[in-house]
């Protein structure tokens, strides 16, 4: 089936153009924007890992290696579109306009981090694949309202083994919802390699059963991601219905900071992968777009932004213990009320 769904790319690992039909679209402005956003979210990601190791942030899901997939897809959306992320897609949400301080508060388990965004960003889905039917429903609602807004559901390869994936695909197909089902196939569902969790050769081919167009792309090629997503979005806006995109990528690090990937994966495979930022940097240099002064200013600007967000996050007053108890039930059950009272008594409150 791979011959029917070849992995499409626009630049190779060395940043050289291999799809001449897109050469005129690879503008300096687009290339620099993609690189800038990818560098920004990587700066955030590495800082978040360091914060967790220092005990200043809770368990965190890193995304290094998947920056091209997240930035390229999010940049193709418009302000009024809907974004339904997993727990690993804060790179996409930051690119789409999520607040960085609020994102850090979320990963610190703070209720302030769960306040709805002014953008159409659904809360990160920790249960696998549950966000897919939600995204399809939001897209269908926009269609019924007569807007041209679309929704995108992000999910990993493991999600395609869940019923929510198939239910969402079927619903999207039947109602021709303006939704993009964006799969980041990083080839491991936590510790389970893709060949042990599905027998089909590609994820893209799963769309055949639902009469839905699909495409398989190199998820580490920011240009391939951007233009594929752009085409799917335009198709959805014009009434063409849903699209399944399989972006083949790789997470360099652990599933989360509570995970040890060396227990189930040869980490030499990560060293052999071409970094998506390096690939785009090679392109910038080949085209004469790269400038050392610009790069230095970029690094300083992103470091300053991230450090300011961390400082703002850490200035929040201590969390209110009542937040643990008071947002689940209208009236607390007796056993939960007793637990709350016992805890407050132990704390001398």
Annotated active-site positions, please? 251, 255, 264
For the chain, report the end-to-end CA distance as a whole number of angstroms: 64
Angle at 216 between CA 212 and CA 221, to 5 degrees: 140
Cβ within 8 Å of residue 21, ≥6 positions away: none
Query: DSSP letter at 329?
Result: -
- For 57, phi and psi rounded to 5 degrees? -145, 150
Cα(210)–Cα(167) distance, integer angstroms: 10
Residue in 226, 225, 227, 230 with CA at minimum distance from that of residue 246: 225
Q: Which two tokens stand for residue 165?
A: 């994936």
Q: Name the pairing type of β-strands 179-185 and 151-156.
A: parallel
Element counts in the chain: helices (H) and strands (E): 12, 7
Q: Name the pairing type of β-strands 243-248 and 82-84.
A: unpaired
**154: enclosing H helix or E strand:** strand 151-156
Q: Which two tokens stand for residue 120?
A: 């159409």
Q: Which neighbouring-strand residues pair with 245?
A: 182, 215
């Amino acid at each position: 089936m791979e011959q029917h769904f070849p992995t499409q790319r626009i630049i190779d690992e060395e940043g050289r153009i291999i799809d001449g039909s897109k050469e005129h679209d690879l503008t300096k402005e687009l290339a620099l924007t993609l690189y800038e956003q990818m560098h920004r979210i990587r700066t955030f990601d590495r800082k978040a890992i360091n914060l967790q190791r220092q005990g200043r942030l809770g368990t965190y899901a890193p995304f290094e290696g998947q920056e091209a997939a997240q930035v390229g897809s999010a940049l193709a959306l418009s302000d009024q579109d809907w974004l339904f992320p997993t727990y690993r897609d804060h790179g996409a949400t930051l690119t789409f306009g999520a607040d960085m301080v609020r994102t850090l508060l979320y990963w610190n388990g703070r209720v302030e981090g769960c306040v709805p965004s002014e953008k159409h960003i659904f809360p990160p889905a920790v249960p696998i694949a549950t966000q897919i039917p939600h995204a399809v429903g939001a897209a269908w609602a926009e269609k019924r309202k007569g807007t041209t807004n679309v929704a995108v559901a992000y999910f990993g390869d493991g999600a395609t083994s869940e019923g929510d994936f198939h239910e969402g695909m079927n619903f999207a197909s039947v109602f021709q919802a303006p939704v993009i089902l964006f799969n980041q196939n990083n080839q491991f569902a936590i510790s389970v390699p893709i060949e042990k969790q599905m027998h089909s050769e590609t994820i893209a081919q799963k769309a055949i059963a639902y009469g839905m167009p699909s495409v398989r792309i190199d998820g580490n090629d920011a240009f391939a991601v951007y233009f594929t997503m752009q085409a799917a979005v335009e198709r959805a806006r014009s009434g063409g219905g849903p699209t399944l995109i399989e972006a083949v990528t790789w997470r360099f690090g652990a599933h989360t900071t509570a995970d040890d990937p060396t227990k189930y994966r040869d980490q030499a495979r990560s060293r052999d992968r071409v970094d998506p930022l390096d690939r785009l940097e090679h392109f910038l240099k080949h085209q004469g777009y790269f400038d050392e002064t610009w790069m230095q200013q970029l690094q300083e600007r992103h470091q300053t932004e991230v450090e300011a967000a961390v400082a703002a996050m850490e200035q929040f007053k201590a969390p209110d213990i009542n937040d643990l108890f008071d947002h689940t039930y209208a009236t607390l059950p007796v056993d939960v009320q007793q637990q709350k009272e016992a805890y407050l008594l132990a704390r001398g409150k």
